[in-house]
Amino acid sequence: MIDQLLEVWEGSVRATHLFLSEDEIKRIREYVPQAKGFYEHMGFQVYKRTDLDEQGSPYPLLYMRLTHKPVGRQGNRTLNQS
């Protein structure tokens, strides 16, 4: 399934992101399969998957929501250093 998603992603990028060079597309492509794992590691879980995007095109989407804080993280903190 990852290979199919990658093909769909790459095709859509090539059709809509004409400003990207071939090298940039290859570099970005390396990270796409890792994205789901990264977000799961950060505490997100897939709650919905669609075979079509919101315009009805055959681009699968994963909807994720934060279900817990990642282990070892305290969340974002802003320090007032006046």
Angle of the 22-41 helix axis to the 2-16 helix axis, nearest 10? 130
pLDDT digits (tens, 9 = 90+) for 43-58: 889 999 988 878 787 7
Q: Is there a domain that residue 80 lies in?
A: no
Domain count, the chain: 1
pTM of the model: 0.50
Domain that holds residue 37: 2-66
Least confident window among 38-42, 43-47, 63-67, 68-72: 68-72
